[in-house]
Amino acid sequence: MIFKGNSVLVSKKDNSVLLENVGDDAEFIPLMDLASLISGQELNNILKEYQVDNWKRRHNFCGTCGSKTTFDIDDQCMVCPKCQERFYQAMFPAIIVSIIKDDKILLAHNKNFPENLYSVVAGFVDIGENLEETVAREIREEVGIEVKNIKYFASQNWGFTSSLMLAFTAEYSSGEIVVDQEEIDRADWFTRENLPDLPPKISISRDLIDHYVTGM
């Protein structure tokens, strides 16, 4: 597979992922767009290749002594032949959480989203935090409220950003919505009958919202 930034080379004829450049039949499309064309294990395999490719490119040189690294296929890591430092693939843990109040769900609009697309609150885990502390902090920082009854929901390898998404549900406890205006510019409580545009079905954020919609 051939990647360029967050895009992958595919065939214009059938949108199949190409292993080599075949001239006029090839084009790069964003991985997120590819996700609307294929799914399941095929998509997972492509995202895994993307993560490995991205990781290799960022670890061409040893972070300890600066020597050029090589790939150890057996140990699946980059190795410095000079100082023997080993660099393993990194996953970035992040939480994502649905918040319920009076049978309504809190959805937020990120500044980078399309105009009417909303999703649940998410954020990366800080050093020294446990997951429940991250949930409470991210909610407090992004939308200004407090929550209770934080419960684990599910997880997802989000290969687009090499993140391990850890999903939770929570109940509103106190406070008024005040968005941070850095990542989030709008947030509100929504009922099942007045939902805005939602994330794609492949995402665990949509799983959380669908879980609310079905009342399960």
Tens digits of residue pLDDT in 66-110: 999 999 989 989 999 999 999 998 889 999 999 999 999 999 999
Mean pLDDT value of segment 21-39: 76
Superfamily of domain 92-214: Nucleoside Triphosphate Pyrophosphohydrolase (3.90.79.10)
The per-residue pLDDT for 23 is 66
- How many Cβ atoms from other residues are within 10 Å of residue 90's Cβ? 10
Q: Where are the beta strands (DSSP E) in 142-200?
A: 146-158, 163-174, 184-190
Query: How far is 38 from 101, CA to CA, in rounded Å?
Result: 35
Domain chopping of the chain, boundaries: 1-58, 60-89, 92-214
Strand-strand pairing, 26-30 and 70-72: unpaired
Tokens 């669908």 belong to residue:
210
Please tell me the pTM assigned to this model: 0.83
Please state the rounded mean pLDDT for residues 29-54: 80
Q: What are the structure tokens assigned to 21, written together?
A: 């450049």
Domain 60-89 - what CATH class? mainly beta
Which helix H or strand E contains 104, and what residues bound it? strand 104-110
pLDDT in tens, 159-176: 777 889 999 999 999 999
Average of per-residue pLDDT values in the chain: 89
